């Protein structure tokens, strides 16, 4: 389906939008792309991201997009190495918790937490990363019952292939054979203070139509990065990017842990190497926030935020949106 789309921040390069409704207003938490001068590679070294801005609006398709300014930089974070990639924010008891992936001084991704009294920040980072955290792309679900769940993980530059059973592999990264189950994303309930995992992270298993885990060779459907979770009609919709096949896909489950059964494509490929998204309901409408690289002339490391409406059919399936219209 072709949908009207809007670029949200035409004056700057922002990507990986996490979007939530706080105080009856949409808040957008993107990563911030800068020119790096580094040749493009599979580890993502060309992504020069070093700070965050927060944006908000009361009408994503036509309203003013307010830039609340700089809210966190790598220089603010005691354990920082480089590459402050995509983040997410959750609210609990009037506090706002920003979860961010950042390479430490050994060039290993960890997930940190920064706290604010306001959704627009600024955010004050904790002195250390979350214990036992690894990889990137954190996304947090407030399940509405007092429990919060973090979904995370990404392959290649996201380093997820370096871990099994939440431990780093002694021999470095390994990938399964094409006919073996694909590397899954991870999910963990957060502790009551929102600062740590309350449990060991678990695999987010995506099943095919026959109830079998998607295989590593199923490149059109298997997980690569960019986890997001939302609920619709009592079901849990786990959405994600297929990475090198440039699709946003989704799977549905009955609880936050899954398993989730593959359903289809949310967004077909856009201009740019991959895409990253969030899905949110606001004032009775559903929206898909994502990015592409059209304004930068296709430079995959300089991306721009977009939004369009998202719709479901009568059976609760998401109607596929064309990425290139």
Where do the domains of the chain lie?
3-317
Residue 3, pLDDT > 80, answer yes
Active site residue 16: yes
CATH number of 3-317: 2.115.10.20
Cβ(214)–Cβ(181) under 8 Å? yes
pLDDT (0 to 100) of residue 38? 65
Query: For the residues 269-295, what does the mean pLDDT come to?
Result: 95
Cα–Cα distance, 59 to 17 (Å, whole number): 16
pTM exceeds 0.85 for this model: yes
pLDDT band at 171 (very low <50, low <70, confident <90, very high): confident
Cα–Cα distance, 29 to 14 (Å, whole number): 9
Query: For the residues 240-260, what does the mean pLDDT come to?
Result: 97
Active-site residue, from 86, 91, 225, 292 = 225
pLDDT (0 to 100) of residue 161? 97
pLDDT (0 to 100) of residue 275? 87
Active-site residue, from 16, 33, 86, 137 = 16
Active site residue 88: no
Pairing of strands 148-152, 139-142: antiparallel
Query: For the residues 225-248, what does the mean pLDDT come to?
Result: 97
pLDDT band at 44 (very low <50, low <70, confident <90, very high): low
pLDDT (0 to 100) of residue 35? 81
């Amino acid at each position: 389906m072709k949908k009207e789309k809007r670029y949200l921040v035409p004056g700057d390069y922002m990507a990986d939008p996490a979007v939530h409704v706080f105080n009856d207003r949409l808040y957008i938490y993107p990563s911030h792309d800068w020119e790096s001068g580094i040749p493009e590679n599979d580890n993502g070294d060309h992504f020069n991201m070093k700070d965050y801005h927060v944006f908000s609006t009361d009408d994503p398709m036509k309203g003013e997009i307010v830039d609340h300014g700089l809210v966190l930089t790598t220089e603010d974070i005691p354990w920082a190495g480089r590459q402050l990639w995509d983040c997410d924010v959750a609210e609990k008891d009037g506090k706002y918790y920003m979860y961010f992936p950042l390479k430490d001084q050994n060039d290993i991704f960890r997930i940190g937490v920064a706290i604010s009294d306001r959704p627009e920040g600024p955010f004050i980072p904790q002195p250390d990363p979350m214990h036992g955290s690894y990889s990137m792309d954190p996304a947090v679900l407030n399940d509405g019952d007092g429990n919060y769940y973090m979904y995370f993980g990404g392959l290649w530059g996201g380093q997820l292939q370096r871990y099994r059973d939440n431990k780093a592999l002694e021999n470095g990264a390994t990938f399964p054979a094409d006919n073996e189950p694909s590397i899954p994303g991870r999910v963990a309930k957060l502790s009551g203070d929102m600062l740590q995992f309350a449990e060991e992270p678990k695999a987010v298993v995506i099943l095919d139509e026959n109830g079998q885990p998607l295989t590593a060779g199923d490149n059109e459907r298997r997980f690569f990065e960019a986890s997001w979770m939302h609920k619709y009609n009592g079901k849990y919709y786990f959405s994600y990017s297929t990475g090198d096949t440039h699709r946003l896909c989704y799977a549905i489950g009955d609880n936050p842990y899954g398993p989730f059964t593959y359903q289809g494509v949310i967004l077909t490929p856009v201009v740019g190497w991959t895409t990253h998204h969030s899905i949110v309901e606001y004032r009775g409408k559903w929206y898909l926030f994502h990015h592409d690289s059209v304004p930068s002339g296709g430079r995959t490391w300089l991306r721009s935020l977009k939004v369009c409406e998202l719709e479901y059919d009568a059976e609760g399936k998401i109607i596929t949106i064309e990425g290139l219209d």
